[in-house]
Amino acid sequence: MDGQVALVTGGSTGIGLAVARRWIAEGGVVALVARTEAKLLEAVTALGNDRAAAFPLDVGDLRALEKLPALVFGRFGRIDLVVNNAGVHHRGPLLELPPAQLAEMILVNLTAPIVLTRAVAPLLRPGSAIVNVASLAGMVPVFQAAGYSASKAGLRAFTRAAAEELAPAGIHVGAVSPGPVDTGFFGDASRVTPMTFSQPMSSPEEVADAVLRCARERRPEIALPWASGKLATLGYLSPWLSRTLRPLLEKRGLRNKQRWLERHGL
C-alpha cells in the first residue's frame, strides 16, 4: 500500500476511522471526509498529519461532493481506493418519521455514493477499487426500517451495476454488508429494534478488514458475520421463512439488547 491513497467518507469515527487506521498501517495515505470538522481534525492528528488529510464535507451537499475527487487528486496526485461509508439511520416506524428524514437516508446512503462514484471514476487508474458499505438490511428488509433498508438495497444494486460498467477500465466495485456494528451509529439505543440485536455484533475493525479484503481480492460482496449473511439471503428468497423466524429472532434480540444496554451502563 506504500503511497497509495484512500478516500474515505464518514472517516472521523467508527468504520471509516478503522479503515483509515488499517490503510495507514499498511503504508497508505488517507483523505478523510466527514461533516464535523472538529472531529475530523482530531482524527487526522491522531493518525498523523503526514499520513492523513482532512476534507470537511457533508456528503449530502452533492455539488460540493462532485468537486471532492478533484481536490483529493490535486493534493495527492492519485486515488487508489474509495470507500463510500458515510451513512445516516433515522430509526422508527415509517409513519412516525418525518418525510424529510426518510429523504435524507436516501440522499446520504444512496445518492451520495452514486454521485461520488461518478465523479471519481475518471480519476481512477486500473487496479483501483470502490467499496460501498451497505448493510444486511439491504439484503433482507428490516421491520420498522423501511427507508434505511431501501437505501441499502439500492446501494447494493448500484454496486453490482457499476461493477459491470467499470470493470473494462480495471476498476473494481464491491460492497461490504455488515449486520450490527458496535459504534456510535446506534444513537439512541432505545430505538434500535430487537431484530437488529438478534445478530452477532461486529467491531469497526472487523468491518474495516472486510473492506480492504473486498478491494484486494476483488470480491463482489462480503457480508458479515458470515452466518448472518446466509440467513439474510434465505430470508430474502423466502419471505414466508422471514416472517416465521421474526418472532424468535426478536425474542433473542430483546435479550441481547438488554445485555448490551447493561454493558454500556444505559
Asked whether 172 and 83 are in contact (CB, 8 A), the reply is no
Per-residue pLDDT band for 1 (boundaries 50, 70, 90) equals low
ω into 225 cis (within 30 of 0): yes
pLDDT above 70 for 187: no
Residues 77 and 238: their CA atoms lie apart, in Å, by 48
Question: Any idea which residues carry the catalytic annotation?
Answer: 148
pLDDT in the model for residue 167: 98
Tens of pLDDT, residues 98-146: 999 999 999 999 999 999 999 999 999 999 999 999 999 999 988 899 9
pLDDT in the model for residue 106: 98
pLDDT in the model for residue 43: 97
Which domains does the chain carry? 5-263 (3.40.50.720)
CB atoms under 10 Å from CB of 248, counted, come to 10
